A and B are shown apart, each in its own frame.
Chain A
Amino acid sequence: MKKFITIFLAVGTLAVTSCDSFLNRQEDEQMTFEKIWQQRTYTQQAFNNCMGYLPVDGNLLTQAGSTYLAATDEATLFSETSGFNNIIRGSMGPSTMPHNLLSSWYEGVRDCTTFLKYVYTCSDPNALQSDKDRWYWGVRFTRAYLYFLMMREWGPVFLLGDDLIDFTATTEQLYRPRNTWEECVKYVVDEMTVCSENLPDTWDDGYLGMPTRGAAMAVIARLKLYSARPLFNGNTLYRAVRNPDGTPLFPLNPDPQKWVEAAQANMAVIQTGVYQLYKDTEHNNDPYYNYSGIFKENWNSEVIFCSGGYRSNATFISNTSPTSLLKGSYNGSGQWGPTQQQVDAYAMANGRYPITGYESDGTPKVDVASGYPAPANEFNITSVANPYLKALEVSSSDYTSSSPLMYKDREPRFYVNVYYPGSYFKCASLGGVANFAIDGSGRGQFYPRSGYMVNKYYDHSRNYYQNGSSNNITFPTFRLGEIYLNYIEAVLECEINGVGGTNVDLNTAMTLWKELRARSGMGPITDAYPDATTPEALLELLRRERRVELAHEGHRYFDTRTWMIAPEVDGGPMYGLNVVNVKSETPAAVPADGWARYAYERRTFKNSYYLLPFPQREVDRNKLMTQNYGW
């Protein structure tokens, strides 16, 4: 028996000691981390993953992007549940974030850091040095760009450099304070500077969409502009936002020198000489084609960086197609509309801005010199010709409509940017007239609550849905026009603050401004406003210019905040036409009582809303972290 047991135990023990291998995974040659760096294709795929963190701005209307477009005074989106509602209704909080890309962007930072660490170890002889360099600098740009994206939403964040955080560390071991704004700016500027030194001016066709030298410089340019603006430059609200050790996270006092840096950084982009304002020579420099072509002519000379590359513009199209005209399988869900305030922001054809402000009841204050009718008459119905439609060769019976006086004789960018109801909506053979009143032809499940619709992204020469597909856009995340505006603003601010330096030149600024306006068929601003001689007065006009030129491109949300004018403009009643409660008797007609300034919603802006709160779960997890102001 003893023998038997001994044998049995021996067999048992033997069996068990060899079990580790019994339990091994049957070899199936799965992908491993090591293999990524052994074959060119895999390394390139790892590169794709990192670059894929760049936001697809051709899809700006979805998710997070909708916040930049609709949570500011330039537009409205009809959507009861989208996150931006939390902002405009004042119900945003650390636990009720409209969107939280922080973790996804830091995921990108981690993937990029890992990639940068290993890319040069790629052992495939087919992976040329030039491949590795291209991959490396593309990813290094992406990592810095993610920080830029985070900073404009949250301000100072956590700089990780090349660290890969140990995930086995306890929650307590991972407590970490935020870096300061200055540190973050320096990091991104330094990273982008070294990227700009290693990235080419342009790429061959196959690499279009990859960041270039200009892109890296444009990020610096815009970041320095933001950093010079009041929100980040000695904002008194933020004095108490400090790390637990007392370090202030934001600069305590304004530093005018930052305007100099901003001006120089923007001039540097201009001086690359790579970019030109887009002009449509095929249409003889027609202002309508010039301006609308920026968004239709892919890879045009004005585009500095197109985040996300050549993409379908389906979301732009569907959200700017009237539901009534493109219904059923055409699937229009036109819900993106400029507010009345934005409509008011466009100049008259003569260059003067018609509306200078509002009475407390919303009645506009009219600049008589502009030729705009008195408030009582602005909705008088008259024959209005839409010159953009005319330029698009719509028949005269269609491009002329009986519409309020308000829409008559406005500047070209008005007609490109705003679709006003009652006007003809050209859409190849499916064109028609849409309005957005209840039971009117424009009212479906989705409609623009303001009664207007954004027009600039719709290519009226095409009927996307009849053709079965939308076409593509190379969305100008950075374009030369913006850089001009950045530069002019910075120079004017330098003038105001009495600082200066190389490349800070008012004459240059005024010339660039003139070129920009001329492109859209406008004379120099000083022609329309000969009395605007002070830099303060010019700055005011420049801000209006910026609002119009860059309308619906995702700038206004950050501009109103960094200028700190959001409490005045992003809060309070939002006006539009009275489409919400007005019933149209005949489908195409706009009912008379629809033509009225109507406060379709009242928005809230609190001082805490300048920057997003960090998610509450982040604050809970990281006891050294300081929440943003007011949260």
Chain B
Amino acid sequence: MNCKKFSFRRFWTTSIALLVLALPGAFAQNKMTVTGVVTDELGEPMIGAGVLVKNTVTGVITGLDGDYSITIDAAGGGGILVFSTLGYDDVEIPVNGRTKIDVQMQPQSTALDEVVVVGYGVQKRESVVGAISTVDASNLRVPSAQLSTGLAGQLSGVVSMNRSGEPGKGSSADFYIRGVSSFQGTVTPLVLVDGIERDINLVDTDDIESFSILKDASASAVYGVRGANGVIIITTKKGQEGRPKINFRSETGITSPTQLPKFVNASQFAEMANEAYFGAYGTYPYDEEALAHYRNGDDPDLYPDVDWMKSLYKDAAFNQRINISVNGGTEVVKYFISGSYFTESSIFRKSDQYDYNSSIKYDKFNFRANVDINVTPSTVLSVNMANIYEIRFAPGTETSQIWYRAFRTSPNAFPVVYSDGTLSAPSVSGEQNPYNLLVHSGYREQFWNSAQSLIGLKQDFGAIWDPLQGLTASIKFSWDATSSQVQVRSKTARQFHASGRDDEGHLIFGNPIYEGSETLSFSSSASSYLVTYMEGSINYSRLFGKHRVGGLFLYNHKIRRNTYGSNSTNSIPYKNQGIAARVTYAYKDRYFAEFNMGYNGSENFAPGHRFGFFPAVSIGWLMSEEPWWAHVKDYVNMVKWKGSYGKVGNDQISGTRWLYLSTIIGGNSFVMGKTGSDGGSGLVTGRPENLNFSWEEETKLNLGVEFELFRELRVQADYFNSHRTGILMQRSGLPSYAGLQNSSKLPYVNVGETLNSGVDLSLDWHKQVGDWFFTARGNFTYNRNKLVNNDEPDWEYKYQNRIGKPYGVGGSQPWGLLAVGLFQSEEEIANSPVQTFGQYRVGDIKYQDINGDGIIDSNDQIYLGYTTLPEITYGFGVTAAYKGFDINLFFQGVANVNFFINGNSLRQVFAATDTFEMSALQQDRYYRGWSVNKTAEENAQAIYPRLSWSGNAGYHNNTQTSSWWQRNGAFLRLKNAEIGYSLPKKLLAQTGFIQGVRVYVAASNALTFSEFKLWDVETGSGDGSTYPNNRVISFGINANF
């Protein structure tokens, strides 16, 4: 776990050194000259390190070879030289009359004054008693437009899954802190960028100064009613005093799907269709002649054999990122300015027929300027501005529709396009040719523009009047605007279906299936938000002898306006308001106690019930600072125990506002009158008024330990137990006769209850062996939640109680029948319990009679496996560096996760009964399915049941949700592998302005280990019909000036 380090002490010493250098000349009196070379931990010369005579203003900086030459006052042996540079420990060496002093500097170790970003502030690392994970932002760098895709496996406590790799917005990942704890309300964490709630995916990785997640009550209580799902705090880089430093990075990547499903060819399809249809109706739809055509492929117009995956999707696409930033400043003004460009293309094919390229293309421009101005020596005015501009170009048809059709169209339905160039269509309208949807449906342009502005003023009162030392106050105001627009120019192409050939062998098309149009029609839509936020706070921090005290008091409010609302409800401003406070106390910087609280309100509740008080207490003990620890301190450098207990809330009930108010809905309409023209629509109370309800509350306990061994290995481990109560949910316990069972009427009450507990831990290790420098890091998160109360009475069969079982996102729980195999004989059917899902035969799925009543029905459904949200998430990586080379491997994995395969190409095969054209089948079904044409031995190994025809014997029996269709979603993947080479500094120094250059090759998602083989396992449930996750090979260069 690399915490982004920031040292005040180092900052000042370096600054002073630089200031001193600005002074011309030096006074000479009994001088001596000391020379030497300063090298880094790898022995590379260190350019620009400061060399200062302690307690003087005499100093120089090292040259291109890391060499320096300083003339000092020889009196007293020459005093002490202080060598310093950012990111490294200062080295103090008494001169003792020597004229040559070489120094090797060591990277900054975990120093006491390293700080960690916490809620509404920063704390010294050693005094942090909350459960907070941080990560070095460079680890979050991924070849994708979305920061969220980089989270998986990087921070202990974060559970994250990438469900899609679609270029641009589509690829953002789901992420949760310590799993999920509510089955009703929102479960995603609060994300704050520079203190303002903002979209995580709009932050450019290169702009991140620090990334923290707040996991326990102590850390998140200040966010009160918004904090229960954990908080992610991102701060962007600030300017640092010094000459302008320019950083440039460029990266180009080749992206390709990690895995796409494979489908049967036409001849296999016909074989399977024959088998399924014969089982239902006793006849074969494809005769020998047709089968021969499919096998020979001699008539691709009337007997086509299309691999839709290959016809629609290319093997590879590309992406590119360029980032350039400037950082510098003076005593008065400091600035950080950064701009980046990211572009990404897709595997979608295009047609050369048009001037436009309908394949997906996504471009993102990021600009950020953070400026701090010291208006007075004790007053800092900060202005942060960011603008993110995104453009997406895509086919006229929604991509989800293209994927759906691609996974539905049979290989023999029609050719991609007829050999004479005529566009092909299914034989009936309503269905679609996916290729035409992709390339002949026009295009759409989407635009997003996000402007983020923040202005802050911070006053240090201590600098004005000494008794107020430690007291600061600040005011922050931010206004963010986002807008997005879609412009669609689409059409349906003129399409035909060939019914045969005339005497001359020409295809007979008849009337077009789609008359189509030759012009693109236009439509557009837009949305837009304005968010204003105001925060005022006072901070206090002071050391009185052995007592260190601190305090925070803060008020904030936020108004989010949907300025282009789509309905009367979401166009009304969303408001939040609250105060937060913190008191910290440390004795001898060894014993810590902290009290945090949030008091804030939500519009969702009735006046008088809107504000909640969320307190948390925590204590910590830095055991290694005890005097009696001294004798082992060389081995166990640091040990800290900590614990916290407190309460946080969650007022976010997805989609519903002002829950306390009753709703008035349309209800039923009534028809009367001689010709039914009288009567009309209805009006009725929907959800009844309830002034009493309130937010969800979560009581969180966290116990943790941190320790460091041999100055090499640092471990942080936490146990947590979160009890969420008062989950606001619609009642389940009301009897029908109350007359409120309809979901639009069912009242909400605070009744749900869950328990979520687990552990998360992280470790960091670094070691130097000769010229080799190694680091390793790893983290592990395990959580299991349990439904404690959802207002449901016991089920008739207690094993069907949802209570007591884990749940996934949105409260989903995997329920279904327990499959025990496929019926292998008529005798087996006769001797087994009766299954009540339509007729069934040999080769169909056999289920377990859980209640033993001889009948398999919904009473035999049980909790199956795990949810789609993994219980275990882990990541680990190693870095090795030798001379200029470095190699970096990072693995990420999940376990205890299941999902159901589903869809027309796998489970509900031959569901489209009217036509054989919309019955695509995945290849796995062909090779591993039960078949009348296979031997008993082969069938005993089958993992798919007998092929059945929609609505006929076996169909409903086999498509029940059951363990038969459940798959293990665990995987381990090589998330990132990177080899880099840094050009020798000596060489670069000759250019005079280049400070460092590193070139690298990286592979992301290079390898995946999973027992699931059909498609990218991380995308999960269904039939794989989404844009797959990408494997990316990137080439990059990073240069500093």
CB of B568, distance to nearest CB on chain A (Å): 6
Does A8 belong to the interface (CB within 8 Å)? yes
For A439, give the chain B residue with the smallest CB separation: B283
> B735 contacts which of A91, A208, A622 (Cβ < 8 Å)?
A622
Number of A residues whose C-beta is below 8 Å from B?
90
A48 to B673 CA separation, bound complex (whole angstroms): 13
For B684, give the chain A residue with the smallest CB separation: A49
B669 near A167: Cβ-Cβ < 8 Å: no
B674 near A171: Cβ-Cβ < 8 Å: no
For A614, give the chain B residue with the smallest CB separation: B736
B608 near A20: Cβ-Cβ < 8 Å: yes
**Could you say which of B573, B610, B952 has the most chain A C-beta atoms within 10 Å of its C-beta?**
B610
A16 to B658 CA separation, bound complex (whole angstroms): 20
* Contact A311 to B676, CB < 8 A, known contacts A20-B607, A26-B573, A91-B857: yes
A36 near B681: Cβ-Cβ < 8 Å: no
Does A432 belong to the interface (CB within 8 Å)? no
The DSSP consensus for interface residues of chain B is loop
* Contact A106 to B738, CB < 8 A, known contacts A5-B538, A9-B553, A91-B855: yes
Does A609 belong to the interface (CB within 8 Å)? no
A45 to B553 CA separation, bound complex (whole angstroms): 53
* Contact A107 to B741, CB < 8 A, known contacts A89-B836, A168-B690: yes
**Could you say which of A15, A19, A50, A89 has the most chain B C-beta atoms within 10 Å of its C-beta?**
A19
A619 near B796: Cβ-Cβ < 8 Å: yes
A106 near B739: Cβ-Cβ < 8 Å: yes
Given contact pairs A25-B603, A51-B670, A167-B734, a sample of 10 additional A-B residue pairs in the complex whose CB atoms are under 8 Å apart:
A8-B538, A33-B689, A45-B680, A96-B836, A104-B741, A165-B740, A174-B738, A206-B672, A311-B671, A445-B913
Does B364 belong to the interface (CB within 8 Å)? no
A401 to B747 CA separation, bound complex (whole angstroms): 62
List 8 A-B pairs, minimum CB-CB distance, nearest first: A52-B668, A110-B739, A49-B682, A49-B667, A171-B733, A103-B741, A45-B683, A310-B676
A176 to B738 CA separation, bound complex (whole angstroms): 11
Does A616 belong to the interface (CB within 8 Å)? yes
Annotate A100-143 by CB proximity to B: 1 below 8 A, 0 otherwise.
Answer: 00111011111100100000000000000000000000000000
CB of A258, distance to nearest CB on chain B (Å): 27
CB of B501, distance to nearest CB on chain A (Å): 24
Chain B residues whose C-beta falls within 8 Å of the C-beta of A24 in the assembled complex: 603, 607
> B734 contacts which of A53, A108, A621 (Cβ < 8 Å)?
A621
A206 near B796: Cβ-Cβ < 8 Å: no
> A174 contacts which of B538, B669, B735 (Cβ < 8 Å)?
B735
> A309 contacts which of B578, B671, B739 (Cβ < 8 Å)?
B671
> A210 contacts which of B538, B672, B675, B742 (Cβ < 8 Å)?
B672
> A16 contacts which of B611, B666, B735, B796 (Cβ < 8 Å)?
B611
The stretch that binds A, out of B160-168, B178-186, B787-795, B876-884, is B787-795
**Could you say which of A20, A36, A103, A167 has the most chain B C-beta atoms within 10 Å of its C-beta?**
A167
Annotate A1-45 by CB proximity to B: 1 below 8 A, 0 otherwise.
Answer: 100110011011001100110111110101111001000001011
Number of B residues whose C-beta is below 8 Å from A?
88
Does B555 belong to the interface (CB within 8 Å)? yes
> A310 contacts which of B608, B673, B735, B738 (Cβ < 8 Å)?
B673
Contact residues of A between 196 and 253, Cβ < 8 Å to B:
205-210
Does B107 belong to the interface (CB within 8 Å)? no
> A80 contacts which of B661, B673, B681, B956 (Cβ < 8 Å)?
B956
Cβ contacts A to B, 28 pairs, < 8 Å: A8-B536, A15-B557, A16-B578, A20-B611, A22-B577, A23-B575, A24-B607, A30-B568, A30-B664, A49-B669, A49-B682, A50-B668, A54-B670, A80-B956, A91-B855, A96-B857, A103-B736, A107-B740, A111-B739, A167-B740, A171-B734, A174-B733, A205-B673, A298-B674, A309-B676, A445-B913, A616-B795, A620-B795
Does B468 belong to the interface (CB within 8 Å)? yes
A177 to B526 CA separation, bound complex (whole angstroms): 55
> A167 contacts which of B667, B731, B796 (Cβ < 8 Å)?
B731
A44 to B680 CA separation, bound complex (whole angstroms): 9
Residues of B within 8 A of A (CB): 281-283, 461, 467-468, 471, 473, 536, 538, 553, 555, 557, 568, 572-573, 575, 577-579, 599, 601-603, 607-608, 610-611, 657-658, 661-662, 664, 666-676, 678-685, 688-690, 692, 731, 733-742, 745, 747, 749, 791-796, 836, 838, 855, 857-859, 913-914, 951-952, 955-956
CB of A413, distance to nearest CB on chain B (Å): 28
Chain A residues whose C-beta falls within 8 Å of the C-beta of B791 in the assembled complex: 171
CB of B540, distance to nearest CB on chain A (Å): 9
Chain B residues whose C-beta falls within 8 Å of the C-beta of A167 in the assembled complex: 688, 731, 734, 738, 740, 747
Does A360 belong to the interface (CB within 8 Å)? no
Does A95 belong to the interface (CB within 8 Å)? yes
A309 near B679: Cβ-Cβ < 8 Å: yes
Chain B residues whose C-beta falls within 8 Å of the C-beta of A9 in the assembled complex: 553
Does A47 belong to the interface (CB within 8 Å)? yes
CB of A133, distance to nearest CB on chain B (Å): 16
For A25, give the chain B residue with the smallest CB separation: B658
A586 to B740 CA separation, bound complex (whole angstroms): 57
A48 near B682: Cβ-Cβ < 8 Å: yes
A16 near B682: Cβ-Cβ < 8 Å: no
A25 to B568 CA separation, bound complex (whole angstroms): 12
A42 to B739 CA separation, bound complex (whole angstroms): 22
B471 near A111: Cβ-Cβ < 8 Å: no
A16 near B740: Cβ-Cβ < 8 Å: no
For B791, give the chain A residue with the smallest CB separation: A171
Does A65 belong to the interface (CB within 8 Å)? no
* Contact A620 to B794, CB < 8 A, known contacts A47-B670, A445-B913: yes
Does A94 belong to the interface (CB within 8 Å)? yes
For B676, give the chain A residue with the smallest CB separation: A310
For B461, give the chain A residue with the smallest CB separation: A1
A8 to B737 CA separation, bound complex (whole angstroms): 55
CB of B783, distance to nearest CB on chain A (Å): 30
CB of B799, distance to nearest CB on chain A (Å): 13
A195 to B683 CA separation, bound complex (whole angstroms): 24
> B681 contacts which of A12, A48, A176, A583 (Cβ < 8 Å)?
A48
CB of A44, distance to nearest CB on chain B (Å): 7
A19 near B739: Cβ-Cβ < 8 Å: no
